[in-house]
Amino acid sequence: MTRIKICGITNREDALAAVHFGADALGFIAVPESPRFVTPETVREVQQGLPPFVSRVVVAREITDAVGYSADCVQFYAGSENHPLLRRIRVFRIKDEASLTELREYRYTPAAFLLDTYHEQALGGVGAVFDWSLAVEAKKIAGDIPIILAGGLTPENVAEAVRRVRPYAVDVSSGVEAESGRKDHDKLRRFIRTVREADLASAD
């Protein structure tokens, strides 16, 4: 079954809605330049009362930027590869075939690789899709390391993404928003339902 991470959570209402509809993980942005940035204090407030077995992921430029955040995993782009407590999800921003070189040359073993769309200014959350054939190739390179697919996913295209890539998980932020930092709960529901339906179809 494809896991589902709803990223860019900024408030308790959206967090509870995502979990209610069936999300497996929630992402909290620790990058100050992002319109979805939240402080450690806000994250703790949002997480109060969440049910068990929902993974909490802090998204940071470097692992050290995750200090102080309440989370189970850290999703990061560069910097130190060690964290004494959190599982590590290493992000690779995909632009073209040459983008896979960094993945091939990577010598660490994180809990997962996350593939997102390359953008010159923003680290993520820009709503743009990259060539999914590159994600299929990245799965071969990664071997046993799970692949999380991000980048421009929406309720309208996620079924095709699941069918073509067969990722361990999908990650969505802007694709289920009403505006930056606020989720559209109907889009949340449709996105999660579509992933589950795609899983069932692939099992036939």
In contact, 58 and 47? CB cutoff 8 Å = no
Sign of the Cα pseudo-torsion (143, 146, 149, 155, in order):
positive
Compute how many other C-beta atoms are within 10 angstroms of the C-beta atom of residue 40.
16
116 is catalytic: yes
Name the active-site residue from 7, 24, 65, 171. Answer: 7
Which tokens belong to 85? 């407590």
Give 156's contacts (C-beta < 8 A, 6+ positions apart).
none
What is the Cα–Cα distance from 69 to 15, expressed in whole angstroms? 16
Residue that is written with structure tokens 């949340």 in the block: 188
Partnered with residue 92 across adjacent β-strands are 115
73 is catalytic: no
Name the active-site residue from 14, 24, 65, 116. Answer: 116
**Residues with catalytic annotation?**
7, 116
